[in-house]
Amino acid sequence: MSRINEKHKILYTSNKRYVYEKGGRGSGKSYAISDYALRLTYDTNRVVLFLRYTMVSASISIVPEFETQMELQECRGDFHVSGSDIVNKTTGSKIIFKGVKTSSLNQTANLKSIQGLTDVIYDEFEEHPDQESFDKLDESIRSVVASNKIVLVSNALHKHSWQHKQFFEPNGLYYTMTDRVLSTWRDNVENLSDSWHQKRLLVKEKNRKKYLRDFEGENYDDVEGALWNYGIIKRCSILPEMKIVVIPVDPAVTSDPDSDEHGILAMGLGYDGNGYVFDDVSGIYTPNGMAMKATGLYNKWNANYIIGEVNNGGDFIEAVIRSVDNTVGYKKVHASRGKVTRAEPIVNLYEQGIIYHYGNLDKLEIELTSWNPSKDKKSPNRLDSLVWGFTELLLKKQLNFAVWID
């Protein structure tokens, strides 16, 4: 197998229970982690649990990455791949791939029952919503046949997240038991193309905060003057039954590679009277691609209807969506007030504690907590989509901020 990158040797040498691998884009941390997992299996009696909070299908989403790694390391013949497991035929040690979340439930209890578990690698750890369920999993890793190392892998963290408080602040529960690694593109520069660096430098020039967070892996804080702050965002680990589900779409003006993203969320009003946002497929798409994503989310969550803004191409949105699926429910909304005026009542609902986030909504939360309307006249598309959704679900009857057309 190839040599181990100097930056990541601490994975092998640390005697701490936790190693926290945090890095920016292009840092090579994903390669280093899959390499580490495969090497672990060359020891006997290893049962390595590879986790992501959400893993739809290991055979589609993550196992192919490991098979590519095997080919690069020229060790494919040593392994047997079966569904969500990889077994080292020379030692019998194996890697088991699991998602923490299944449907609307957190299955931490099921993970605890895996026999002989010796090591855990938790990828995209910034997505794990709460410390309590992590503690339950953590305390079940106690096999005496191995070191019980728990490797946590994430992108940059918000400074008010539970992960940052517990692993990166001196008074955190896990602080003294953790070795930390920060990797950046500089640690993987030989594997990055010139065009990738051009994009990196463009982001650095246009948006310094985004550059430091995404490419340098620096932990970030709320932006001064932002309407939302991290402290008012409440989270839930179980999604209750929904009374109504909507898919608000805030379209981008163009579909060029450098254009804004289409904001496409799934949101609902629970029978408990609270609002929930629970899925985000926003991105840069062609109009047809946007329609396919929106209708796909509509069907996934059995939504009542899709929402589109008339002022910003609402008629066009409906036409292209119905060209993909003419059976969907659809509502047009018309903005009669400015963005800040529409957003402030939604912020107030967050402050009252009646809106919850469920699952991985990291990109949405970054947009919410980094938009300063006094400096950034153009609000992000995820944020706009969220405002449309909760205005429909929670404010439609109380406030006259928009004219709604069925």
CA pair distance 114, 207, nearest whole angstrom = 45
Q: Per the domain annotation, does 201 fall within a domain?
A: no
Q: Residue 121: give its domain's CATH number.
A: 3.40.50.300
Report the share of the chain in percent with pLDDT over 70.
Answer: 88
pLDDT at 353: 94
Nearest to 181 by CA among 158, 151, 214, 210: 151
- 307 touches 392 (CB < 8 A): yes
User: What's the domain count of the chain?
Assistant: 2
Q: Per the domain annotation, does 341 fall within a domain?
A: yes
User: For residue 401, what pLDDT band results from cuts at 50, 70 and 90?
Assistant: very low
What are 16's two structure tokens? 């701490």
Q: Per the domain annotation, does 202 fall within a domain?
A: no
**385 and 251 housed in the same domain:** yes
pLDDT at 254: 54
- 280 touches 363 (CB < 8 A): yes
Of 169, 191, 213, the one marking the end of a domain is 191
**175 and 251 housed in the same domain:** no
Q: Which domain holds residue 291?
A: 230-405
**185 and 280 housed in the same domain:** no
Q: Per the domain annotation, does 26 fall within a domain?
A: yes
**158 and 264 housed in the same domain:** no
Q: Per the domain annotation, does 209 fall within a domain?
A: no
**243 and 168 housed in the same domain:** no
Global pTM reads: 0.76
Residue 74 reports pLDDT greater than 50: yes
**367 and 235 housed in the same domain:** yes
pLDDT at 404: 39
Q: In terms of C-beta density within 10 A (0-12 exposed, 13-18 middle, 19 or more buried), how is residue 389 classed?
A: buried
Q: For 174-182, what is the mean pLDDT? A: 95
- Chain segment 362-394, per-residue pLDDT in tens: 889 988 988 888 877 677 889 999 999 999 999
CA pair distance 81, 67, nearest whole angstrom = 8
Furthest CA-CA distance within the chain: 69
Residue 217 reports pLDDT greater than 90: yes
Q: Per the domain annotation, does 219 fall within a domain?
A: no
Q: Per the domain annotation, does 223 fall within a domain?
A: no
- Chain segment 337-348, per-residue pLDDT in tens: 677 888 999 999
Of 160, 191, 222, the one marking the end of a domain is 191
Q: For 347-358, what is the mean pLDDT? A: 95
Q: How far is CA 236 from CA 131, 249, 350, in A?
A: 12, 24, 14
DSSP class of 1: -
**Block residue for tokens 């945090």:** 22
User: For residue 406, what pLDDT band results from cuts at 50, 70 and 90?
Assistant: very low
Contact residues for 72 (Cβ-Cβ < 8 A; gap 6+): 2
Q: For 15-22, what is the mean pLDDT? A: 95
Q: Per the domain annotation, does 36 fall within a domain?
A: yes
User: For residue 327, what pLDDT band results from cuts at 50, 70 and 90?
Assistant: very high
Of 134, 163, 191, the one marking the end of a domain is 191
Nearest to 126 by CA among 23, 14, 231, 232: 23
329 against 225, higher pLDDT: 329
168 against 256, higher pLDDT: 168
User: For residue 313, what pLDDT band results from cuts at 50, 70 and 90?
Assistant: low
